[in-house]
Amino acid sequence: MPASPAGQLRSIAIGVTDLDAAERFYTGTWNLESVARTGDAVYLRGSGSFHHILSLHRGDKPDVRNVTFSVASAEDLDAIAARTQANGGKLVAGPQPVEEPGGGTAVTIADPQGRVLRFVHGDERLDAAADDSRRRDAPERITHVVFNSSDVAVAQRFFEQALGFCLSDRTKIMAFMRCNSDHHSIALADSDADTLNHIAFVMPDLDAVMRGAGRMSDAGWPIEWGVGRHGPGNNVFSYFIGPDDFVIEYTADVLQVDDSYKTGGPSDWTWPAGRFDQWGVSKPPSDRIKQAQKKIRFIE
């Protein structure tokens, strides 16, 4: 696989209107664990080794502050800064030390459609959760973030040329992009606005996705789409609308690929009428989730 300097998707920073309520939800129900806090932010880890995978920031309205990747070498930061500017993006800051929990050195960029992406090297690692009962039912990490795009071709070109992503599959509505062996770390959905579509948290297996769906249901957060098994990426899914209408997904079984993966096109990924997943058990996405998927923007 052509080496991407982007490394691994690590975390997403989001603005929330009620920090305490959001922390209660993401720890008590979604099953992350608070690992650090500042005056107006909370940092949450999964069961994997990343210092945090989600940070919640007190704000007037929900938004996305940044999506952060953990890169393999300090040289990758310089390469990303140079390639960003050569391909229509903006260098926002760095490389410079990160002044927040998790640390490391980061370069922050904005892509041509205004998404703020941060690439960090030398960030802190924690021991993966040793506690079996915790690992069994906690998200390990974020496995993909999906962005709506007013022009997917523009965004796709930037992710390919500036950040070294490869196209894994293109359906009628979405471009699935990879930067390592995960089938996709980013997907770009055709839309009329540049908003956040959803954030996917990977669980240990299908049973953990199902138990998570039950836990959400018990707490009053119904399934908005799923449970089912996707076509591209082959992952199982269950989607919810969390606090502030962030769309969040429990997923598992994400297809691992290498250079031999044959990129699929729209004609490879069609469903029979009335079918929304491989199993044929999922109903279509709810109207609520379709609305929520268009609401949240990146910070200006």
CB of 124 to Fe ion, least distance (A): 27
* Residue (107 or 209) nearer to Fe ion, CB: 209
User: Least distance to Fe ion from the beta carbon of 268, Å?
Assistant: 18
Beta carbon of residue 201, minimum distance to Fe ion (angstroms, whole number): 10
Q: Are strands 247-252 and 236-241 parallel, antiparallel or unpaired?
A: antiparallel
Q: Going by DSSP bridges, is the β-strand pair 186-190/141-149 parallel, antiparallel, or unpaired?
A: parallel
Q: Which is nearer to Fe ion, 70 or 235 (CB)?
A: 235
Distance in Å, CB of 36 to Fe ion, minimum = 27
CB 238 to Fe ion: min, Å: 10
On the CB side of 92, CA atoms within 13 Å amount to 17
Q: Give the DSSP letter of residue 54.
A: E
Interface positions with Fe ion (CB under 5 A): 200, 249
With beta carbons less than 8 A apart as the criterion, state whether 105 and 95 touch: yes
Nearer to Fe ion, 76 or 176 (CB): 176
Task: Identify the DSSP state of 29.
Answer: I
Residue closer to Fe ion, measured from CB, 121 or 230 = 230
DSSP summary character for residue 129: P
Beta carbon nearer to Fe ion, 76 or 194: 194
Which residue is it, tokens 């071709």? 153
Strand partners, 146: 187, 198
